[in-house]
Structure formats: C-alpha cells, structure tokens
Structure 1
Amino acid sequence: MKQLKKSQMNQETSFRQIFPQGEKLPQQFSQYFIGQAYLAPLTKNQALQVPVSNVTFEPGCRNNWHSHTGGQLLICIAGRGYYQEQDKPARELLPGAVVEIAPDVVHWHGAAPDSWFSHLAVECNPMTNQNTWLGEVSDAEYAEATTAKVKKNSNLSEAAKRNHDAWFPGYVSKARSTDPDLIEVFDNFAFDEVLKHGKLDTKTRIMVIMASTIAQHTVHEYNMMLRAALANGVTPVEIKEILYHAVPYAGIAKVVDFIGVTNDFMTLNGIALPVQSQAVTTPETRMEKGLLLQKEIFGDRIDRMYENSPKNQLHIQQYLSANCFGDYQTRTGLNTKMREMLTFAILVSMGGCESQVKGHIQGNVNVGNDKETLLDVVTQLLPYIGYPRTLNVIACLNEVLPENK
C-alpha cells in the first residue's frame, strides 16, 4: 500500500504538464541549482543508450553554468523558461521548443521568474558524455537574461496576471512573445476588466465560455478552457455534459471534434472513460419526460407550438420534445438552471439565432436566471464572440425584458 501511494505521488504535478514531475533533485545535482527542481527519469532500458528525463523547475529556478562533453537535447513541454549560452543573448523557451546543445558549449537553463517550466533532457553520447559544472548564474545575470522578455508585458495589470494564472496554472501562450501587444490588450480586457463585471463565479464563467467555443467551433480555445475547467472545479461529468448538451443546438458535426479533444485531455490527466452515465430516459419514456420538462420551462407556449404547427411540420415539434429535451435536457450532471444558461450561451455565440435566443431568454427567466444574470453571461462572452453578436443579444434582451425607464 505504501509503495502504491508513493508511486501515485510520483505521478503528481504542481502545474499542468504531460509527464510526471518526479522527486526533488538529489543532493548530487541540487548543489548545482538555484531554487527547487525535480527529476523524473522516463527511460529504463540502458541498452538503448538514450537516457531521457523530465526536469521541472519552480519559478526562478535555474542550474549553474555547465557543459556536456557529448552534448544534450532539451525538448520543452510546459510553462516558460530560458536557455543561454555563454556570451550570447538568452532564448525564451515555450512548449514545443527544441534546444540542441553542442558538445562542450557552456550554458544554463531554467524557469522564468514568474512561471514553472519543464523540459525533457536527452543525454547524447551517454557512454562518454560527462558534465562539467561551473559557477552559479548570479541574480544579476539571471535578471539581465529574463528582464527583456518581461518588459514586453509591463502594462499587463496585476489582476490580469493573477486571474490568467488562476485559470491556466503554469501555462504561457506562445503569442506572449510573438504578439505581446495583442496579449496585453486582450488579457487586460478579458482577465481584468470583464472579470470585474457581474456576479458570475469563476466556474460558471468558464462553463459558458466552453459552451461558446463549441458553438463557434473554435477547438484551440476550447482546449484552453479544458485546462481552466479542470483547474477551477469543473468536474469531468460537467465537462462531458456541456459537450452533450451542445449537440441538439450546434449539431454533432461541430461537437464531434470536441469529443475527441476532451477524451484525449481526460486520458492525459488520468480520468477514466467513460464517465458515469447521466441518462434518465429510455426510448419508451423520452417523449413523455421531454415534453414535461419543456412545459416546466416554457409553460403553455409548448401547447401553442403544437396547436399552431402545420401538419407536415408536426414531427419537428415532436423531435424537440423527445430528442432535444427528452434525450439531452433531462440528463443529470447539470441542473435545469445551468442548462438554460448554457443554451443561451450557445445560441448567442452561433449568431443568426435571434428568434431562438428570445425564446430562451424567457426560458432562462422562468427557471431563475434574471436579466442581470444574462447580461453578465453576455459580458463574459464578449471577448470571445465580439461586439456585433453581443449587441444583437442585448437588443433581444431589451425586447423580451424591457428596461424600466
């Protein structure tokens, strides 16, 4: 039992990364580091002669100046760090970067001052490769190497930095170095100004953005929100239910791409699949339960929709009751109030759905999401859907729920 617990601990990470973080560096290595680093050997077969380890650095941690007689490869996998060769400018390292270190080149590498960092260290020519450890990278040297990059984001507010780190712990966008002006403007707006508005909690904000990214078919941004979701209390069941809930509104042609991304993400993070089923209907009960839920949300309007439907279109109303509501909306894992909010987020993000948006504005009010709440949702989505769709939604809100003059 103790061995199992220790093995599980070895798999834990202090920030989101692919490989195990491992244990604190043993004394034979840590004496050559400033700050705390961790080591996780990944290969065992010595006959292959390709030793590979994951090395993780806490913020500000770096190793001494040193060289390898046989050279080394660094493959960056998470966070943000730096690499510097003697008498050359430092190089910022982001996930995906590969550093080829020639034999006997004096260098150092480590984390940025404000970010965790991890890389794979591949030992080249292991039969003859030896390290030569030299002096420490002084605070002045380290500051000089890293300050230039930090200055690019000098106008990023402390609240934006803090909120971004809370949503995406350990992650640094590549655009931070390639498009610093855009990141500064966007992060100050989306992670400071927008988050100051309204009463939505962080978990709800992330969930409505996830629904919005599905509706817009923005897979990359959805993948980012998966990180935020898992780091901020959105459960695996809730993540899956957001996906399933989007199917009758955005269509399976869009949603299927996100299912694959989600499954890969969950597997990578040790979440067993499939998650627990949340279905509560059967083929025999889906119509009855779906129609009942429709009427609970929309009242007598459902009866009028059936009464006013042309005979050749009545099957669509039946599909709405049995499929949209019976198969999907009745599922557990998310309550009715949250599902109506997510429906609203999906519809406003798709655009061109103003008629349905108006109907679900009233549905939201009926289940307890008032106008101020819906305005909070729209405000949260603004950085992701843009102003035209936002203003269209506000017009719908004011039409269905007029302001008191």
Structure 2
Amino acid sequence: MAIRKELLFAICLCLFSANQSMAQVSKNNKIYNMTSITGKGQPAPKENFTGNVFVTMAVNPDDNLNSTVGKVTFEAKARTNWHTHPHGQILILTAGVGYYQQKGKPIQVIKEGDVVKIPVNVEHWHGASHESAMTHIAIVPSATNGTIWMTPVTDADYNKDHQSSAQPKPLKLTEAAIKNHEELLPNYVSTMQKTDPEFIELFDNFAFDEVIAYGNLDTKTRVLMILGSTIASQALTEYKVMVGGALNVGATAIEIKEVLYQSVPYVGVSKVLDFLHATNEVLLSRGIELPLPGQSTTMPQNRQEKGLALQKEIVGSRIDEMYAQSPPEQLHIQKFLSANCFGDYYTRTGLDIKTRELLTYSMLISLGGAESQVKGHIQANLNVGNDKQTLLTVTTQLLPYIGYPRTLNAISAINEITGKK
C-alpha cells in the first residue's frame, strides 16, 4: 500500500493553496479553480461516524469533475460506520496510524504513506487507531451516490484484535529469571512480549535462569563479556539494550568505552563504528558528558616497546619465536601486533589485563573462523590468571547469544589447550 513520493507530491499540489475559500487565479490567460484543505475542517455527521471526525472537502459534486475528494481527520478511536461505495474509493494516508477492515476479514493497520484501494460495493470501515489520530485523503470516482452508509462499528468489533494483542497472557517466567532480568533491565518490557510471548518465555527462562546459574561470574563482568560478544556478532540491537544494562549493574562509561576500543584490533573499525555511535547516544541520554577522560599510557615513541613487553608478559616466549619465524615481507604484521594491538590498546587503563583477555576470548569465539587465535588466547587467559573454570563460565554465559556450534568449538579448544583437565 506504499505510495510513490511523486504521486503524493502531485496530489498535495492539487489539494493545497494559500486561500481558505474558493478563488479564481489568473495565470497565462487561463483560469484555475483552487481551494484549501488546511485546518481542522467541519465535524462529520454523527449518524455516519463514531467519535470525533472532521471533514474538509476539496472537490465537491457541483465542481462537475465526476469525483469527490476530501480530507478526513479521525481522532484516536474514531471511525466510520460500515459502508460501501458503488464506484469504489481510494484512501491516501497523510498522517497518523489507523485501521481498515473489509467485512469478514481481519483489521489491517494503515499508516502515513499507505494507499488503500477499496473495490466496488465492498462493505468496509476505516478510522483511527486506539493510540493515534489519523488523517487521509478520500477519493470517490463519482459525483453522485458515492457512499451507502450502514450500521456503526461496535466497540466489541473495533477492540477485538487490539485486546488480543494489547493484553497478552502473563509470561510464565521463573523467579530467578525475573530477578536477574530486573537487575539488568529494570522495568524493561520487550515488544516481543506481545508479538512472541512463547519465545520470550523460552529465552528468558534459559538465558536469565539456567545459564546464569552456571559458574560464579559477577554480573558486571558477565555483561561486559556479552557487550564484546555482540560487537563481534554485529548484533547492534542487542548491544544497545546491553549498554543500558551494563550501566544499570555498575559498569562505568569508561569500562564500556574500553570494551569498544579493545574490540577494534579483533573485529575491525568498520564493524565497530556503528557501535561507537550507538554507545555515545546511550551515554549522552544518561547525562554522561563526552569525551571521557583519556586512558592511553603510551606515546608514539614507546608504544612498540611497551606493547612488545606486555605481549610477552601475556603470551610468553612464543612471541620471540613468532618474530624469528616471520618471513621478512610479513614481519611488519608482527610489529603491528606489538605496537598497535598491545601497545595502543592493551596498555590502556580502564580495564585490567585479566578482563581484557577475557574480552578478547569472548570476541574471538563469537566471530567464528578464528580457532587458531581462540587457542592462543585461551593460553593467554591461563597465563594471566583466568583458569579453565572461568573460561567455561564465560563460554556458557555467551551460549544464548552465539549459539551451540561456536560454543562447542570454544569448549573443544579449551579442552585441547588445558589437556582436558
């Protein structure tokens, strides 16, 4: 039912002018009749409408144009009676949200820009939605006998579909799921509680009860890992929800920003940029002033040296082997890793090394296709004090967000590196 912009513009040009009443305008020695449909209009006949409805006619029968055209504005919950048009009708929605229903068929939601083409002699009604006013241009291709009015649309018929969607059955959530969800997202109501209540029951009871019950990871760390995972998975919608959740459970704006910055060398800036903008929007909406205090500890003169030192501290002597075994034309990548990945990012304050390594692991298992790097950073996590149980717990917390294949791949890598202990 979407209308082309060119058609809508042409219709607007025909219907609007600067004068309220009929006038004649001379241009190029031709006479044009013009009228205006600005303003609220006149109240519609109560016998044909329910609620407050206002009509402004643009083309009347006495214009001799074989059609009638008018602007009709419905306040919320107002609607026409059931009626038919012996010559059909066209509705062009210009504002708001409304309903349209043909006899025997479900109510359809119509909105600005939609065009409703009503066939000849089809019994129907149309009007505003429960929450929004609605305005449409009504076109009837007849100057006489354009509408046959019938009985009013009862409240029961008007409310039927709305009641079933606006009053869903209470969700069957466990006490733990409710408690954990409220801790993270107090008073948050997902739109899917109306559209997909059964799915929400399944997901929330699993993700916010069974999964959280495994291991002993504090809430803030868990949410920071989910943030890193959603960035790697390019799950922007879930990420924005979780940024608010992270702030709710005590994560600082600096910690959230550091999760973003830490993701750049692993995910790439082209994938991170939208998440950075989204984060700024959330922080500003919470009254947090930007930019945040800087966290960098290196300068161009020492980033290579400090990065390499920290890289060796985290990864171990294997770094020397990687440098020694690198072909000359590829050695620059090893230097980039030391100076950029570790020197520019790992050396920053705002998050400690153990958290940064857990984040890196979370992002790598969420990316998929990075099994070699996953194994390397499992060992790095062990080196900095994140034991096997911590890695299994983080992997479990990410399961609802990354799915079973990547979760099982991660567990296989953990078992391989730790010798299945």
Name the TM-score class by shorter chain: 0.5 to 0.7
Q: Which residue of 2 aligns with 1:100?
A: 132
Tell me the CA shift for residue 166 of structure 1.
Answer: 1.2
Q: Which residue of 1 aligns with 2:169?
A: 151
Q: Which residue of 2 aligns with 1:318?
A: 335
Which residue type is aligned with residue 169 of structure 2? K
Q: Which residue of 2 aligns with 1:208?
A: 225
Aligned with 2:291 (options 257, 274, 279): 274
Which residue type is aligned with residue 233 of structure 1? G
Q: Which residue of 2 aligns with 1:197?
A: 214
Aligned with 1:239 (options 256, 262, 269): 256
Residue deviations 1:28-61 (CA, integer Å, cap 9, x gap): xxxxxxxxxxxxxxxxxxxxxxxxxxxxxxxxxx
Return the TM-score normalized by structure 2: 0.62
Which residue type is aligned with residue 282 of structure 1? M
Q: Which residue of 2 aligns with 1:221?
A: 238
Rg (Cα) greater in structure: 2
Q: Which residue of 1 aligns with 2:393?
A: 376
Aligned with 1:341 (options 358, 377, 398): 358
Distance 1:343 1:185 in 2: 29
User: Are residues 1:285 and 2:317 paired?
Assistant: no
Which residue type is aligned with residue 132 of structure 2? E
1:151 partner SS: coil
Tell me the CA shift for residue 189 of structure 1.
Answer: 0.2
Q: CA 1:295–1:73 in 2, change beyond 3 Å: closer, same or farther?
A: farther
Q: Is the 8 A contact 2:166 2:194 kept in 1?
A: no
Q: Which residue of 1 aligns with 2:324?
A: 307
Instruction: Give 5+ residue unaligned stretches, structure 1.
Output: 1-66, 75-96, 103-144
Which residue type is aligned with residue 291 of structure 1? L
User: Are residues 1:367 and 2:384 paired?
Assistant: yes
Which residue type is aligned with residue 201 of structure 1? D
Tell me the CA shift for residue 218 of structure 1.
Answer: 0.7
Distance 1:98 1:148 in 2: 10
- Aligned residues with identical type, % of pairs: 56
Q: CA 1:147–1:357 in 2, change beyond 3 Å: closer, same or farther?
A: closer
1:163-202 → structure 2 map (5 Å cutoff): 163-202=180-219
Tell me the CA shift for residue 299 of structure 1.
Answer: 1.4
Q: Which residue of 2 aligns with 1:390?
A: 407
Which residue type is aligned with residue 365 of structure 2? V
Distance 1:265 1:227 in 2: 7
Distance 1:73 1:373 in 2: 55
List 4+ stretches of structure 1 deviating above 4 A.
70-74, 145-148
Tell me the CA shift for residue 403 of structure 1.
Answer: 2.2
Q: Is the 8 A contact 2:231 2:275 kept in 1?
A: yes
Q: CA 1:173–1:147 in 2, change beyond 3 Å: closer, same or farther?
A: closer
Distance 2:332 2:370 in 1: 21
Distance 2:234 2:166 in 1: 36
Distance 1:158 1:227 in 2: 22
Tell me the CA shift for residue 387 of structure 1.
Answer: 0.2
Tell me the CA shift for residue 187 of structure 1.
Answer: 0.2
Distance 1:292 1:244 in 2: 20
Instruction: Give 5+ residue unaligned stretches, structure 2.
Output: 1-50, 55-73, 78-128, 135-162
Distance 2:75 2:311 in 1: 63
Distance 2:132 2:357 in 1: 52
Tell me the CA shift for residue 149 of structure 1.
Answer: 3.8
Distance 1:167 1:338 in 2: 20
Tell me the CA shift for residue 169 of structure 1.
Answer: 1.1
Q: Which residue of 1 aligns with 2:419?
A: 402
Residue deviations 1:290-345 (CA, integer Å, cap 9, x gap): 00000110111110110111111100000000000001110000000000000000
Distance 1:333 1:73 in 2: 51
Q: Which residue of 2 aligns with 1:4?
A: none
Give the aligned length: 273
Superposition RMSD on alpha carbons, in Å? 2.4
Distance 1:235 1:146 in 2: 41
1:23-38 → structure 2 map (5 Å cutoff): none
Distance 2:165 2:76 in 1: 25
User: Are residues 1:354 and 2:371 paired?
Assistant: yes
Residue deviations 1:112-135 (CA, integer Å, cap 9, x gap): xxxxxxxxxxxxxxxxxxxxxxxx
Tell me the CA shift for residue 101 of structure 1.
Answer: 7.2
Q: Is the 8 A contact 2:261 2:345 kept in 1?
A: yes
Q: CA 1:149–1:99 in 2, change beyond 3 Å: closer, same or farther?
A: closer
Q: CA 1:272–1:185 in 2, change beyond 3 Å: closer, same or farther?
A: same
Q: Which residue of 2 aligns with 1:48?
A: none
Residue deviations 1:1-27 (CA, integer Å, cap 9, x gap): xxxxxxxxxxxxxxxxxxxxxxxxxxx
